[in-house]
Structure 1
Amino acid sequence: MTYLKQLLKKLDLCCLQEHWLFKPEQHLLHDIDTNMIVRAKSIDDENPELSMIARRGYGGVAILWKKEMDDKISVMVDGSNRIQVIQMETDNTPLCLINVYMPSDNKDMDNEYKDTLAQMTEIITKYRNTHDILLCGYLNGSIHRPKTSHDPLLKKFLAENSLELNQEYPEKQTFFHHNGKSSGQIDYFFSASKDLTQYEQNLDMEAENTSDHVPVIATIKRKLIRKSNKPKSVIVRTKWGKCNLQKYQLTISDGVEKILQASNKNIEEDITSIEKVMHNACNEAIPVV
């Protein structure tokens, strides 16, 4: 915590991944710097019993920003406990900042990795036409290596969503395994606008830093402005309790049948198509309230 406290003195906003705190422990983040607003997600947000079963928390994301910026930032409801989204009002287009902690490169986590990428694709699609998009975090995949199953998945996701790495981003390690034998670059800033960030740097590992990762810092080239007082529509969580189950099942059944008929035996393409069918079924069968 000491290292993070010192780091926050140099930052206006900080995105954290893998804070390992249960929801009842999130106050520890608030205690680090009382000049910071904290918004966090934990693994037990939707399952409080986890904090009573597990010995310690795991995963989790958080975003901290200076109090004087609070009237320029809105917290959005998108994503699971691995994803956190905020909207920043700027003198240009509003900025959608996505903070993510991706699943590990354990082979058993491939499906969860794909699911998290699908969630982010949905978020990017939702905001792309009205916002600048900035994705940052612990991606658990690299654009500079081909050796894990996550690397090609990440590259495909970036290409499909037109997200790029700033040319100034150094090809420098950001992760150092505790065994001292492996390292890699798996922490990034990606954006759809080449002029969105500048002065990106990966700090060196320091003795006070007890994490396996080093901080990655960037300057966002936008001037923040106050949030509009105009009322805004709020997008709420999916109301599964109001789902027309018959319509939902029928929409999925019809969609899957069409996929099977048109399939080229490409598993990744078929999975993507099935995900779209499921999203469509949700839109068709669950009323928007």
Structure 2
Amino acid sequence: MPTRETESQYEYEDCLDIIHSIIEKYQSTHLVVCGDLNGTLATSRNNKHDQLLKHFVLEMNLSTVGNYGEQKTFFHHLGQSSSQIDYMLPNDRDINCNHEIWQNTSYNVSSHAPVSMVTNIAVPLLENCSNQNKKTVQRLKWNEIDEQLYRNTISVKLTDIRGRQNNIREH
């Protein structure tokens, strides 16, 4: 998610729109939006990102699991600030069994405190699951390719193949 730079609320709204689309697509399943959301649901702050996030959580009927209170999840590396911006937001409050914001320790090199959640969702195991029967189809993205480099590479490879064919014929 974008940070609080000038005019970043437009990028922030774009990210929320993408998440909105994903939630709409999978709304009939168990869904948890989680991570560094660069906005807080805490009452201690109310900048543009915070307002957008609070509105989004209400609109999408997401819930905070556990008790976040004012506990911080982000700590600026120079100690200039701290805030609560890391969340677990399920679309069904009943799936949460245990939620924890871990204490920041010296061995955590991240500026974020880990946030974890244990759910009561059971995922059935697939029997005889095998990747052997799956075929991957790779297609060139012509609008993203350097056509001259592609042509040169093909030309070099064809020359190499023709050279091998000539060597085979001579032996």
TM-score, normalising length: structure 1: 0.42
Structure with higher strand content: 1
Give the 3-state SS of the residue equivalent to 2:22 in structure 1.
helix
- In the alignment, structure 1 segments of 5+ residues that lack a partner are 1-101, 230-240, 242-289
What is the rounded CA distance, in whole Å, between the counterparts of 2:62 and 2:85 in structure 1?
A: 15
- Give yes or no for the alignment of 1:162 onto 2:61: yes
Structure 1's 198 and 107: CA in aligned 2 closer, same or farther, altered over 3 A?
farther
Structure 1's 157 and 227: CA in aligned 2 closer, same or farther, altered over 3 A?
farther
What is the rounded CA distance, in whole Å, between the counterparts of 2:67 and 2:96 in structure 1?
A: 10
Deviation (angstroms), 1:107:
2.4
Alignment of 1:15-26 (within 5 A): none
CA contact (8 A) 1:170 1:200 kept: no
What is the rounded CA distance, in whole Å, between the counterparts of 1:191 and 1:227 in structure 2?
A: 25
Q: Which residue number in structure 2 is paired with residue 139 of structure 1?
A: 37
CA contact (8 A) 1:146 1:152 kept: no
Larger C-alpha radius of gyration, 1 or 2? 2
What is the rounded CA distance, in whole Å, between the counterparts of 2:46 and 2:105 in structure 1?
A: 28
CA contact (8 A) 1:196 1:220 kept: yes
TM-score, normalising length: structure 2: 0.69
How big is each residue's C-alpha offset from its partner over 1:13-54, in whole Å with a ceiling of 9 and x where there is no partner?
xxxxxxxxxxxxxxxxxxxxxxxxxxxxxxxxxxxxxxxxxx
What's the RMSD between the two structures over aligned residues? 1.9
Give the 3-state SS of the residue equivalent to 1:195 in structure 2.
helix
Deviation (angstroms), 1:169:
2.9
Alignment of 1:32-71 (within 5 A): none
Deviation (angstroms), 1:152:
0.4
What is the rounded CA distance, in whole Å, between the counterparts of 1:107 and 1:148 in structure 2?
A: 12
- In the alignment, structure 2 segments of 5+ residues that lack a partner are 130-142, 144-171
Alignment of 1:262-281 (within 5 A): none
Larger relative contact order, structure 1 or 2 (CA cutoff 8 Å, min sep 6): 2
Q: Which residue number in structure 2 is paired with residue 92 of structure 1?
A: none
Give the 3-state SS of the residue equivalent to 1:117 in structure 2.
helix
What is the rounded CA distance, in whole Å, between the counterparts of 1:222 and 1:179 in structure 2?
A: 39
What is the rounded CA distance, in whole Å, between the counterparts of 2:106 and 2:78 in structure 1?
A: 16
Alignment of 1:247-266 (within 5 A): none
What is the rounded CA distance, in whole Å, between the counterparts of 2:73 and 2:111 in structure 1?
A: 8
Residue-pair matches, total: 128
Q: Percent identity among equivalent residues?
A: 32
Q: Which residue number in structure 2 is paired with residue 176 of structure 1?
A: 75
Give the 3-state SS of the residue equivalent to 1:219 in structure 2.
strand
Q: Which residue number in structure 1 is paired with residue 167 of structure 2?
A: none
